[in-house]
Chains A and B, each alone.
Chain A
Amino acid sequence: MSQVDLPNPGLRGVPVTEEPLTRKDFASDQEVRWCPGCGDYAILAAFQGFLPSLNIARENVVMISGIGCAARFPYYLDTYGMHSIHGRAPAIATGLATSRSDLSVWVITGDGDSLSIGGNHLIHALRRNVNLKILLFNNRIYGLTKGQYSPTSEPGKVTKSSPMGSLDNPFNPVSLALGAEGTFVARTIDSDRKHLTSVLSAAAAHRGTALVEIYQNCPIFNDGAFDAFKTPDTRDEAVIPLVHGEPVRFGNDGDGHPTKGVVRDRATGRLEVVDLTEASEGDLVVHDAHDEDPATAFALSRLTDAGVLHRAPIGIFRSVSHPTYDDLAREQVETARQGTEDPTEALAGLLSAGDTWTVA
């Protein structure tokens, strides 16, 4: 069994494929049944197109999902997969990833699945840094149950269950993940296949829990929630691209030059968006995704609108290398096993340890 070479630590231990695979190899024979126009189609296509690039054996890919529209994802991929129960996918995937070092484990979840009913499992997976890739399809609405507000819906949202407007303050999934000290936290958009694919590649390469928030349009119950990021005349003002090592700049003066940037207020330490001038150019925050301290990444995540979205940073907020729970757990077992004799003899030794006596 050959191994994928570094620098792809996220796949260390996963066997490479014997023959090159294509997008078609990863498509199952099941009919895809999302609503026409659903952002999930674009994500599925991008994901099926991206998987062959990992060069790993198809049978060592496992998709685990919870409940919701996004959770149907595993049925459409010809890998191993489990469509589990609401919110529990990170817990199930933790057992899977911890017990097997040779699997590439992906969790497919939505904003309701991972941030409402499964919030606890999400933060603990992030805290433990299990080698899982969590794709959080955020459409800011409950789709499968037909249109109630979700934990990422903007305040005041009028839905079937909130005719006078929702009262809840929403989660910002990236802020939440950074608060849980996630070692890889990124945000991308369903319709931007190139960016989505690049983030998926980086997530796969990361050893540890990767949380990728994907802005995903629900054409039935929350259509247009992310239009600001997709419409040509608003897109450049809405997307704050985060590129490691680059100053944080966005906007478009019509000639493709950025017009705005992010600076740190010297008095308060807060990050702020300012118009780009020669003076401010030198003060721009330079994005450092590898910063051990998640504080600046968190501050960047706060530039996301809490209400209707007009602006949000997109890209990899944080990518740092920490020991993973599953590696450490296996290491403890391996250390303990060293020098252990035949298991049957060891068992006999265990059972007869301690104070014993013999009846002749």
Chain B
Amino acid sequence: MTKQVKQLDRVIIRFAGDSGDGMQLTGDRFTQQSATFGNDLSTLPNFPAEIRAPAGTLPGVSSFQVHFADHDILTPGDSPDVLVAMNPAALKANLQDLKKGATIIVDSHDFSGRNLSKAGYDHDPLETDELDEFAVHSVDLTSMTVEAVKEFGLSRKDAGRAKNMFALGLLSWMYGRPVDPTIAFLERRFAKVPDIRDANVTAFKAGWNFGETTEAFVVQYEVKPAPMPTGRYRNITGNLALAYGLVASSVQSGLPLFLGSYPITPASDVLHELSRHKRFGVTTFQAEDEIAGIGAALGAAFAGSLGVTTTSGPGVALKSETIGLGVMLELPLVVVDIQRGGPSTGLPTKTEQADLLQAMFGRNGEAPVPIVAPRSPADCFDAALEAARIAVTYRTPVMLLSDGYLANGSEPWQIPDVEQLPRIAPGFATEPNHTGEDGESAFWPYLRDEETLARPWAVPGTKGLEHRIGGLEKNDGTGNISYDPANHDFMVRTRAAKVERVAETIPPTEVDDPVGPDGQGARVLVLGWGSTYGPIGAAVRHVRNTGLKVAQAHLRHLNPFPKDLGEVLKRYDAVLVPEMNLGQLSMLLRAKFLVDVVGYNRVRGLPLRAAELAEAITDLVEAQTGDEPLTTRNQETEEVR
């Protein structure tokens, strides 16, 4: 039959099923297909902390949301246009996020007695009118999959497990995705188990063919490739980009990379990835605990490596004492915190930005460390390079604050030209730096560079520079133990001044503030940091589309701030600071600049919703200016719907 082809500018699809249903893989494949096709995209995996929560229950639901478009987009989207629900629990858990008119493709196979009650249904929702406001396609995906793959002689259970590929095939047909990459992927992945390989490929093709032939689906959709700057692209998650950024830091500094780490969600993938790149001289040490992970990294830094430790919030808490030691020793060290929901064990697989103050102050004594945060999955690459640059240049631990959303979310990444990457100069000390009154030359480990205030980095094996460092207070210059009150005061201030010096090498705050028809800029600034960049950008676009003026700026450096930040804040009548915490950046801004910023705070374990944020921005702009939106607020512009 001939199917109608409808053009769309963008689509949000959410694949949802049991945590054993392979939804992450399905979403990832759909994403890769869309990337290869040339759409811009953004993804949001969302899964339970349990590896296999009880099958068919609400806590066991795992989902993967992918937003793809024919133009530049910033977020995985608030509300899916299409929900693929593989069982009753997946339907129930995700229904609340759908707007009227959304499409639901549901595997009807498990909509019976016990499976319904496990999901908390006392009836079959497919048999009532409760889904009437949605376009529901109820299809027995499981049975069709089993039927399609019966020639391979698999058990019914194994045959049924290919249903995710059937669903992927169906969606691939609906949105005209290229299929070859996925077939090639399945052939690689299951190369050693031919019957499983063949069953998955067959189920995938069967899903495609079902879409093409059935009368249940009459429309095929087309989302054209997005215009992007010329270049070579790949799709990349934040953790992968971060790991690559660390490898690049090693290559660009000529320092061997030493990672000391202990497995923790959502940071373990960085350890996994780096352990595969030993050919770059990368050593990965899976330590006995978080403390040993950072301890070994610090030991390696003393020995002249680029020392790195990767963890999440609970791990940072354990590493605090060693970070303090690093502050005292003044050795380069990159501490990567992939933030997750807290406190305590919190929400291991969900995202949050509530470790900012821990990064800032979570140590005894005056122990400042520079803090760098990436804004998007691909940006994790550049942020890692920047963290390494600061650590090596200033001989200091640096906190790199990513989060669970950036870690697992993905977007297209324009592959950088390696020749253009910044160089990092270790500048090891090679000779004595001081001549005593007796005319003898000596090495003073705490004699500082005048420009950076960094101390010399003399590694063991360098003749004549033997010295001792430690956690006790140092005498300025000699580095010998000192309990002198004036010296302590001086050293505390000097360590703080050194971190402040980092600001000399930070670019000024980039403010996006288009001049309006009245020749004036905005009176309200939205200022964010980290992974809220996407939702803030989407919300700001929406507000501007309604005719209101609003400025946006996003911080990569949280400590020290860019030198012009105070002046920037004071240019605006109001500053809105959206964060996935209860106002941690707000607190820092108020303390430092005496500016009464307005917080917008959500700690739901999920990225901010652009639509809600847009309303908050609109309210603030209206309150400050008396202006009102020219278009109605509910109009669906851009990503806000």
Interface set of A (CB-CB < 8 Å, partner B): 15, 28, 30, 57-60, 62-64, 67, 74-75, 78-85, 88, 91-100, 102-103, 120-121, 124, 329-330, 332-333, 335-337, 340, 343-348, 350-352, 354-360
Query: Does A95 lie within 8 Å of B258, measured CB to CB?
Result: yes
Extra pairs beyond A62-B460, A80-B460 (12, CB < 8 Å): A62-B303, A75-B468, A80-B466, A85-B325, A91-B296, A94-B299, A95-B297, A99-B256, A100-B303, A124-B292, A348-B418, A358-B233
Q: Which of A62, A64, A75, A333 contacts B278 (CB 8 A)?
A: A333
B192 within 8 A of partner (CB): no
CA distance in complex: A314, B288 (Å)? 31
Identify which of A83, A98, A359 contacts B228 (C-beta below 8 A): A359
Q: Using Cβ atoms and an 8 Å threshold, which residues of chain B touch A78?
A: 466
In whole angstroms, how far apart are the Cα atoms of A356 and B292 in the complex? 38
Query: For the complex, what is the distance from the CA of A100 to the CA of B256, rounded to whole Å?
Result: 10
Query: Are B288 and A120 in contact, with the CB atoms below 8 A?
Result: yes
- B481→A359 contact, CB < 8 A: no
Partner of A91, one of B292, B324, B471, B472: B292
What separation, in Å, do the CA atoms of A58 and B465 have in the docked complex? 10
Q: What's the Cα separation between A126 and B283 when bound, in Å?
A: 20
> Is B251 a contact partner of A343 (Cβ separation < 8 A)?
yes
Residue pair A347, B480 in contact (C-beta under 8 Å): no
Q: Are B470 and A337 in contact (CB under 8 A)?
A: no
**Cβ contacts under 8 Å, B287 to chain A:** 91, 124
The 6 sampled A-B contact pairs (Cβ below 8 Å) are A67-B471, A85-B321, A85-B325, A99-B300, A333-B278, A351-B244
B235 touches A332 (CB 8 A): no
The reply to whether B283 and A98 form a contact with Cβ atoms under 8 Å apart is yes
With the chains together, A340 CA to B321 CA distance in Å? 38
Is B519 an interface residue, CB under 8 A from the partner? Answer: no
Closest B residue to A62 by CB, please name it.
Answer: B460
Asked whether B303 lies within 8 Å of A99 as measured between CB atoms, the reply is: yes
A-facing residues in B251-295 (Cβ within 8 Å)? 251, 256, 258, 260, 277-283, 285, 287-289, 291-292, 295
- CA A99 to CA B305, docked complex, whole Å: 7
B189 within 8 A of A: no
In the complex, A352 Cα to B298 Cα: how many Å? 31
Flag whether B160 is at the interface (Cβ < 8 A). Answer: no
Contacts A83-B470, A95-B303, A121-B288; is A59 near B465 (CB within 8 Å)?
A: yes
Tell me if B618 is interfacial: C-beta within 8 Å of chain A: no
Distance between Cα atoms of A121 and B233 in the complex (Å): 44
B27: interface (CB < 8 Å): no
Q: In the bound complex, how far is the Cα of B347 from the Cα of A234, in angstroms?
A: 62
Assess the B285–A59 pair: CB atoms within 8 A.
no
Complex: A120 Cα to B256 Cα, angstroms: 27
Q: Is B316 in the interface zone, CB < 8 Å from A?
A: no
Contacts of B79 in A (CB 8 A): none
The reply to whether B481 and A75 form a contact with Cβ atoms under 8 Å apart is yes
Question: Contact at B233–A94, with CB atoms within 8 Å?
Answer: no
Asked whether A83 lies within 8 Å of B235 as measured between CB atoms, the reply is: no
Q: How far apart are the CA atoms of A346 and B250 in the complex, in Å? A: 12
Q: Report yes or no: A352 in contact with B322, Cβ–Cβ below 8 A.
A: no
With a CB–CB cut-off of 8 A, which chain B residues contact A347?
247-248, 251, 280, 418
For A95, what are the chain B residues with a Cβ–Cβ distance below 8 Å? 258, 260, 285, 295-301, 303, 305, 307
B547 within 8 A of partner (CB): no
A337 and B305 alpha carbons, distance in the complex (Å) = 17
Residues of A within 8 A of B247 (CB): 347, 350
From A102, A343, A346, contact of B461 by CB (8 A): A102
B427 to chain A, nearest CB (A): 18
Q: How far is the CA of A346 from the CA of B300 in the complex (A)?
A: 24
Q: How many residues of B contact A (CB 8 A)?
A: 69
Q: Is the CB of B258 within 8 A of A355?
A: no
Q: Give the complex CA separation of A52 and B297 in angstroms.
A: 30
Mark B residues whose CB is within 8 Å of A: 32, 35-36, 38, 181, 228-235, 244, 247-248, 251, 256, 258, 260, 277-283, 285, 287-289, 291-292, 295-305, 307, 321-322, 324-325, 329, 415-416, 418-419, 460-472, 480-481
Count of A-B residue pairs with CB < 8 Å? 204
Using Cβ atoms and an 8 Å threshold, which residues of chain B touch A92?
Answer: 295-296, 298-299, 302
Per the bound structure, the CA–CA distance linking A358 and B196 in Å amounts to 33
Residue picked from B300, B305, B467, B468, most chain A C-beta under 10 Å: B468
Query: Are A332 and B278 within 8 A (Cβ)?
Result: yes
Residues of A within 8 A of B291 (CB): 88, 91, 121
Centre residue among B35, B291, B324, B462 by max chain A CB count within 10 A: B291
- In the complex formed, the residue of A with least CB distance to B293 is A91
Interface of B (DSSP majority class)? mixed
| A208 to B467 CA separation, bound complex (whole angstroms) | 25
Enumerate chain A residues within 8 angstroms of B283, measured Cβ to Cβ: 98-99, 329-330, 333
Query: Do residues A83 and B472 form an inter-chain contact, with CB atoms below 8 A?
Result: yes
Residue in B181, B228, B295, B305 whose beta carbon sits within 8 Å of that of A88 in the complex: B295
Contacts of A97 in B (CB 8 A): 299
- A269 CB to closest chain B CB (Å) equals 33
User: Which of chain B's residues have a CB closer than 8 A to the CB of A121?
Assistant: 288, 291-292, 295
Q: How far is the CB of B284 from chain A (nearest CB, A)?
A: 9
Q: From the candidates A15, A58, A99, A344, name the one contacting B251 in the complex (CB within 8 A).
A: A344
A103: B residues at CB distance < 8 A: 303, 460-461
Residues of B within 8 A of A99 (CB): 256, 258, 283, 299-300, 303-305
Q: Within the complex, what minimum Cβ distance (angstroms) separates A88 from chain B?
A: 5
Assess whether B303 is in contact with A96, with CB atoms less than 8 Å apart.
yes
CB-defined contacts of A62 to chain B, threshold 8 Å: 302-303, 460
Inter-subunit contact A91/B295 (CB<8 Å): yes
The reply to whether B415 and A88 contact each other, CB–CB distance below 8 Å, is: no
- A325 and chain B: residue at smallest CB distance: B285
Which among A74, A88, A95, A357 has the highest number of chain B CB atoms within 10 Å? Answer: A95
- Let me know if B292 and A96 touch, CB within 8 A: no
- A338 and chain B: residue at smallest CB distance: B279
Please tell me which one of the listed residues B233, B235, B298, B329 contacts residue A359 in the complex, with CB atoms under 8 A apart. B233
- B460 A357 Cβ-Cβ under 8 A: no
Chain A nearest Cβ from B443, distance in angstroms: 11
The answer to whether A82 and B469 touch (CB under 8 A), given A96-B299, A352-B232, is yes
Kindly state the separation between the CA atoms of A96 and B285 in the bound complex, as whole angstroms: 12
Residues of A within 8 A of B329 (CB): 82
Are A344 and B480 in contact, CB atoms less than 8 angstroms apart?
no
Asked whether B303 lies within 8 Å of A82 as measured between CB atoms, the reply is no
Which residues of the other chain, A, contact B289 by a CB distance below 8 angstroms?
Answer: 120
Chain B's closest residue to A335 (CB) is: B278
- Considering the complex, give the chain B residue whose CB is closest to the CB of A92: B299
Closest 5 CB pairs of A and B: A83-B470, A95-B299, A95-B296, A91-B295, A336-B278
Considering the complex, give the chain A residue whose CB is closest to the CB of B181.
Answer: A355
* Bound complex: CA A80 to CA B302 (Å): 10
* Closest chain B CB from A55 CB (angstroms): 16
**CB of A59 to closest CB in B, whole Å:** 5
Q: How far is the CA of A348 from the CA of B467 in the complex (A)?
A: 39
Provide the residues of chain A in CB contact with B282, threshold 8 Å: 333
Question: Which of B325, B419, B460 has the most CB atoms of chain A within a 10 A radius of its CB?
Answer: B460
Q: Which residue on chain B has the smallest CB distance to residue A71?
A: B470
Other-chain residue from A67, A82, A345 in contact with B468 (beta carbon distance below 8 A): A82
Q: Please, how many angstroms separate the alpha-carbon atoms of A88 and B289 in the complex?
A: 11
A92 CA to B325 CA, complexed, in Å: 11
A67 proximity list for chain B (CB < 8 A): 471
Once the chains are docked, how many angstroms separate the CA of A284 from the CA of B559?
69
Minimum distance in angstroms from B238 CB to a CB of chain A: 15
Residues on B with C-beta less than 8 A from A360 are: 230
Whether the Cβ atoms of A88 and B322 lie closer than 8 Å is yes
Which residues of the partner chain A approach B464 to less than 8 Å between Cβ atoms?
59
Bound Cα distance from A158 to B550, whole angstroms: 71
The verdict on A351 contacting B279 (CB below 8 Å), with A75-B468, A357-B35, A358-B233 known, is no
Contact B288 A124 (CB under 8 A): yes
A162 to B357, CA, bound (A): 39
Beyond A28-B468, A103-B461, A120-B292, is A357–B260 a contact (Cβ under 8 Å)? no
Cα A30 to Cα B474 with chains together (Å): 13
Residue of A with least CB distance to B287? A91
Contacts of B322 in A (CB 8 A): 85, 88
